[in-house]
Structure 1
């Protein structure tokens, strides 16, 4: 029988997850703050409902999803991004928003996948972090994501759910600074320091596999926590040197970003994210990363469309 799922956040990652579920012939409901469905919703053939996670009064439709589909709604993917041009603050969207959605879910939902971030960790001085590393976020996004994790842990559904701390997502249309590389303009970031990455297609496949795995488990043994990265951190300068090479641009130049800029804050974290737990789990599922390092990922993106 087809499954029915709910997605909040049909963006760069969520839309690809919806497409994979579409290919499995599953039903998906997605929310939008817009008055009309997005192009991604049409492509994924999702059923849509207008909602704002910061406004509980817009979430009543969640309890009606099962009756519309004639089948129980099984799972929720919460992958909401933060729109800096909108009014609510990031804590209201990530943490309070998740709490509002959890409170409005139909009783048939058995599991939740929350898309978090490796930004929940603190400064590591170039060292490695994993699922056992204490959290100490410095930026608002990491603090809000950690608050959302705690909300899910405290909720009854948390015991059958997963928290995925994603590294930086890259993929088609999301390789920063290509215009600067082509124009030989400096990138406002230090050339040293580590980038932790995951190709968007690998991230989407992992979400779908985690959902299937959760559905097959009988245990209610707390949220399963995974750091989702390719496990091969890249030195920033080497990453952009490879991107420049692939598009036929000169080697990159770098300049020191303003001390109070987001680029400086990201660079200050200087950590390497281990994916050992994820790889061990993937092996039990017969899965492997399609893009196990940034060189293979960039080659797929830029060799197929160097104009991106």
Structure 2
């Protein structure tokens, strides 16, 4: 069995490792020759390709399945809509001729603010940020293509990914800088290892559904998350300030994401049901990585 990962970054590399551990052949795209060498050392077969350069995608391999998880890098200077929408447009036709089906990583940011109410796969999308709108436009492009071509596609809408090396507002907590958010609003998260296990289940399922929300078992208020993280870091308790700007921002949105569908359909069980184990596990892994380096 073979898998192609488009965008082998923070999430994709963990999916690749799990697929290889199960005995699968894994290909992965990267724009960097140095990164290609890193992937090769892990046993992944690298492909130099860039979703914004269509001709670079001409040599994608034929595989059983593909996982598209291209992340947005603000430092690259590329508009998010161009990366998410145009990049997918360049890729999807080529993928459909080479991969038998596709799992696509999206975001619960497509829902915007719901005043703390629960949402699920049937909740209408209403993005209120630039990133949420770009995600939804990419999803619509993919859905339209799948309907016309009868190409099997599953969309995974992820809550905020966290884990080793990615603990939100860490520097602000350690410096005592106030966080621009409502401390009573809800935050929805999923540990990176659980995000990877959800993708693997969708990739390996013979008939996954068209869309799943991927989030841990317990949405938490921002006050709890930042309080627990500050305590684990030995930082002062968090302080908060009113969000600035003219429009809604992701940090000011409040909703509670239900994970019932993916648990029922695919048997997904998060290793870290909430931040009470996810934060300590993330910091412990950072310590192990530091010891190995």
Q: TM-score over 0.5 for the alignment?
A: yes
Unmatched tracts of structure 2, length 5 or more: none
Partner residue of 2:231? 245
Shift of 1:108: 4.4
Say which of 221, 227, 238 aligns to 1:235. 221
Following superposition, the deviation at residue 249 of structure 1 comes to 2.6
TM-score by length of 1: 0.85
- Equivalent pair of 2:230/2:237 in contact (CA under 8 Å): yes
- The answer to whether the 8 Å contact 2:103/2:153 transfers is yes
Q: Does 1:273 align with 2:257?
A: yes
Counterpart contact for 1:170–1:200, Cα < 8 Å: yes
Q: Tell me the distance in 2 between the aligned counterparts of 1:182 and 1:84.
A: 23
The alignment of Structure 1 onto Structure 2 pairs a total of residues equal to 287
**TM-aligned CA distance change 1:168 to 1:48, over 3 Å:** same
Structure 1 residue 41: deviation in Å?
A: 1.6
Post-superposition offset of 1:306: 6.8
Distance 1:158 1:180, change over 3 A: farther
Extract unaligned runs of 5+ from structure 1.
67-72
Residue matched to 1:301: 282
The corresponding residue for 1:70 is: none
The equivalent position to 1:169 in structure 2, one of 161, 174, 187, is 161
Q: TM-score, normalised by structure 2?
A: 0.89
SS at match of 2:216: coil
Q: Counterparts of 2:189 and 2:234 in 1: how far apart (Å)?
A: 23
Q: CA separation in 2, counterparts of 1:271 and 1:293? A: 16
Q: Structure 1 residues 303, 245: CA separation in 2 closer, same or farther (over 3 Å shift)?
A: farther
CA contact (8 A) 1:54 1:88 kept: no
> Which residue does the alignment assign to 2:52?
54
> Which among 186, 191, 204 is matched to residue 196 of structure 2?
204
Provide the alpha-carbon RMSD of the alignment.
2.3
SS at match of 1:85: helix
How far 1:19 sits from its partner (Å)? 0.9
Deviations 1:214-247 (A, max 9, x none): xx24xxx9x6100000131110011111112222
After superposition, what is the alpha-carbon deviation per residue over 1:230-277, rounded to whole angstroms, capped at 9, x for unaligned?
13111001111111222233321222232248xx61133211111111
